[in-house]
A = this chain, B = another copy of it.
Amino acid sequence: MADSPLSGSSPAGLPWYVAGSQVLGLACVVITGVWMGRYRGGFAWDGSSHEFNVHPLCMVLALVFLYGDAIMVYRVFRNESKRSVKILHAVIHLIALVIAVVGFVAVFDFHRSAKIPNMYSLHSWCGMVTFILFSLQWLMGLSFFLFSRASAQLRSWYLSLHVFFGLTLLALSIATCLLGIAESAIFNIMPEYVRFAPEGVLANTLGLLLVGFGVVVGYVVTRDDFRRPQHPEEEALSMHFKTLTEGGSPNSP
């Protein structure tokens, strides 16, 4: 078993797409940090708008960058044992979940201090739906694939749903970020926003980069020749449930 995650049998092109996704993903996190840090007054935990600024940074870091990386682990770590990669997948998602909770607390705290009602906007509706379904998806994944007594058939059936909803929720998560960017730009940058103020252009650019990250991650995890190869010991264990041991079902997106 090779040590390097990209050693050996990595298909042509895959390392470039993965590198591209990381450049896009890190750019999103850095630009969100710069936007909140430089244009919106920086970060604090005092109920002020500086506490609000923690919210976008946490959400982009957790529910876009870490989320995207967590679903790419099966493509990147091609030579590690399947169980190790599953655990890594679950742990990155757990870290994302914890950071997302901090991001939620930041915005609810700020709203309470500033007496702004919660949950009235489309951004908040989409965000709450994404967060609840993401948490459920994590619990379902854990109970089906890591601590399961479910039959291999049942696990194979759920895997295709898990993969489909995993990608769908990443898309919804990115759409929710776009809504947050639009809200923030209209609330904070108007009327200069219509005159292409640098902060507005930065915010819009962030939106397009988030979309770009999602597209590259989606491409990496759905392209057939990027799939994780079947390892001999896994093959022996699950001859009849090939889909279950590939980290992505050929029956699923």
Q: Does A240 contact B (CB under 8 A)?
A: no
CA A160 to CA B225, docked complex, whole Å:
12
A120 and B179 form a contact (CB under 8 A):
no
Question: What total of chain A residues lie within 8 Å of the partner, measured CB to CB?
Answer: 46
Asked if A182 lies at the interface with its beta carbon under 8 angstroms from chain B, I say yes
Do most interface residues of chain A lie in helix, strand or loop, or is the interface mixed? helix
Measured CA separation A130–B14 after assembly (Å): 26
A133: shortest Cβ distance to chain B, in Å?
10
A235 at interface by CB-CB < 8 Å: no
Q: Is A46 an interface residue (CB 8 A)?
A: no
For window 8-45 of chain A, which residues contact chain B by CB distance below 8 Å?
none
Q: Known interface pairs A168-B215, A218-B164. Does A225 touch B251 (Cβ–Cβ under 8 Å)?
A: yes
Contacting pair A185 B222 (CB below 8 A): no
This protein's copies in its complex:
2
Contact of A219 among B164, B195, B200, B215 (CB under 8 A): B164
A171: which B residues are within 8 A, CB to CB? 171, 175
Q: How far is the CA of A123 from the CA of B215 in the complex (A)?
A: 18
Q: Are A211 and B126 in contact (CB under 8 A)?
A: yes
- Contact flags A211-251 to B (C-beta < 8 A → 1, else 0): 10001001100111100000000000000000000000011
Closest-CB distance, A21 to chain B (whole angstroms): 14
A58 beta carbon closer than 8 Å to chain B: no
A182-B182, A186-B187, A219-B164 known; A207 vs B251 contact (CB < 8 Å): no
**If the complex has contacts A126-B178, A183-B182, are A120 and B196 also in contact, measured as CB distance less than 8 A?**
yes
* Contact of B251 with A193 in the complex, beta carbons under 8 Å: no
**CB nearest neighbor in B for A167:** B253
Does any Cβ of B come within 8 Å of A181's Cβ? yes
Measured between beta carbons, the chain B residues less than 8 angstroms from A250 are 224, 250
- Contact status A193-B120, CB under 8 Å: yes
Q: A219-B164, A222-B253, A253-B253 are in contact. Are A121 and B185 (CB under 8 A)?
A: yes
Please name 8 further chain A to chain B contacts, defined as beta carbons within 8 Å, in addition to the given A175-B175, A179-B179, A250-B250, sorted by A numbering: A117-B194, A122-B207, A125-B207, A129-B211, A179-B182, A223-B252, A224-B251, A224-B252
> What are the 5 tightest A-B residue pairs by CB atom distance, in nearest-first order?
A224-B251, A253-B253, A222-B253, A175-B175, A122-B207
